[in-house]
Structure 1
Amino acid sequence: MAGQALLDLCESHLRGSATIRKQLREAAIHAASEPERLFARAMNRRGIRLLCNHPIGPYRCDFVDERSHTVIEIDGREFHSESSAFRRDRRRQNELLLGGWLVLRYAAADVYQSVDSCANEAAAVIKRRRH
């Protein structure tokens, strides 16, 4: 991914442009879907950087904050409406919970409708769990 290569280049040079690094983080280049990009940008505006599409064990999570042990999933209807996907999500969530992770889930429709409410809630939880 070209954006990641540019971000890595900026990070690897002590004199890399802070402005470019900030813009690349805000572009949410790792987020897979538009609601995920909206959410990532909203969290970045709140000063919280999340790992996007990050693995935890055999699972790839939409967003991860390792310090607070929080996973955030943005669920789009097209990927979560079939019964097999629903059951798989529940097993996955249970394994993450049993491993000590808090899992927050937001519907993509809620992110589109009120990204600030979703981000405010997630940011408050993450900040509280970090302390």
Structure 2
Amino acid sequence: MRRKRLVPDHYAIVYTEETRRIFVIISEIFGDFVLTKSCSGSNCGCIGCMMFSSKVLIGEAEFSVLELDGSKALDENLMAYSFTEEGETFLFGPKHKYKAYKGTINKEKLDKIFRFPDAVVIIKREEDGTFTHSYVSPTVDGRVISRGCRATPHCPCVGCRIVDMWYTKAPGHITPAVDISEGRASAEGELILPVFEGEEIISKMLTRDPSVRHAFSPNIFDSPLERMFYELAFLDLHIYPQHPVGKYRLDFAIPDKRIAIELDGHEYHKTKYQRTHDAKRDRWLYGQGWTVLRFTGTEIHQNLDHCLDEICTLVGIERVSKSNRAP
């Protein structure tokens, strides 16, 4: 299956009047010119009609010159079409010198209309009022990436993080990875948001590629153990690192469930003083309605999946990374 280009190189514009059609070419290579102003209707035999009916043969495959199914209405009588990659050869055929097009339609405007996303984020509202995020790209095939999202401000779930992500294309030029203004609703009522920038980086993050994993972790952790836990847990859990509660600061928290997650990997957790301090804090949190889960460094290093299963079971959510874990 061919993958569409982000934006085409050439476009055909068709203006329909009562007695004729006018064809204009907007081309990155050949410039903008009027192909014909004398089309009397479909299949009249002019070069514009030929452009619509011509096919390009490559081996045994046959391709249309224009992407006929992807037309865009620019106005009531104005339609735009993009050329297929194979159909670009049509533009090498005409020998005449055509009149330059001086209208207001340009390639920059058409690129924005015709651009095809590299990936999409799909957001589904569940019966309990939470949201499920899925991600589709050339390397991540329809994978659920977050469940139980409540769409609160600064939500730490990976779906919300992708929607809020900005991508640096060049020094001084940043653009959102997800274009919210181009979102649309599916027939099932899901919100589909296109990803135009940074698909490769996002896909690597979701597949836990170590080359980019650290880039998505906040630089606020007290220990490598906390960083490692966060990098492997944030796909499944909506966890807030270093979350303040009263006079205490929790290693990780799921505030809406009042769940505290503490990692006892530091040497000072082994001292009598620290054990007493931890017990006092746990009792205070319990009195405030919190549940405290403590994991040792050995548990995290040797059986992190079991730790995540335990937390997800308590939270009441299904793990989204269970069958997609990196080795």
Partner of 1:33: 223
Root-mean-square deviation (Å) = 2.8
TM-score by length of 2: 0.32
Q: Which residue, 171, 176, 196 being the options, matches 1:16?
A: 176
Question: How far, CA to CA, are the matches of 1:77 and 1:32 in structure 2?
Answer: 9
What one-letter code is carried by the residue in structure 1 that aligns with 2:164? E
Does the aligned pair in 2 maintain the 1:11–1:21 contact within 8 Å?
no
Question: How far, CA to CA, are the matches of 1:95 and 1:21 in structure 2?
Answer: 40
Change (3 A) 1:28 1:123: farther
Cα drift, residue 28 of structure 1: 2.9
Does the aligned pair in 2 maintain the 1:50–1:65 contact within 8 Å?
yes
Question: How far, CA to CA, are the matches of 1:126 and 1:95 in structure 2?
Answer: 21
1:32-77: CA deviation from partner (whole Å, max 9, x where unpaired):
322222222232232x220001100000000000111100000014
Greater displacement, 87-96 / 77-86: 77-86
Q: Which residue, 264, 269, 283 being the options, matches 1:94?
A: 283
Residues 66-85 of structure 1 mapped to structure 2, 5 A cutoff? 66-85=255-274
1:95-119: CA deviation from partner (whole Å, max 9, x where unpaired):
0001000000000111011111111
Question: How far, CA to CA, are the matches of 2:305 and 2:286 in structure 1?
Answer: 26
Question: How far, CA to CA, are the matches of 2:242 and 2:230 in structure 1?
Answer: 11
Q: Percent identity?
A: 25
Change (3 A) 1:39 1:101: same
**Greater fraction strand:** 2
What one-letter code is carried by the residue in structure 2 that aligns with 1:52? P
Question: How far, CA to CA, are the matches of 1:26 and 1:118 in structure 2?
Answer: 24
Moved over 4 A (4+): 18-26
Question: How far, CA to CA, are the matches of 1:54 and 1:21 in structure 2?
Answer: 26
**Greater fraction helix:** 1
Count of aligned residue pairs for this structure pair: 118
1:81-131: CA deviation from partner (whole Å, max 9, x where unpaired):
111111011000000001000000000111011111111111211226xxx
Q: Which runs of 5+ in 2 are unaligned?
A: 1-160, 167-174, 179-197, 206-212, 318-327
Change (3 A) 1:40 1:99: same
Change (3 A) 1:113 1:37: same
Partner of 2:113: none
Partner of 1:43: 233
Cα drift, residue 16 of structure 1: 2.2
Matched, 1:125 2:278: no
Higher relative contact order (CA 8 A, sep 6+): 1
Question: How far, CA to CA, are the matches of 2:291 and 2:278 in structure 1?
Answer: 14
Q: Which runs of 5+ in 1 are unaligned?
A: 1-7
Change (3 A) 1:28 1:52: same
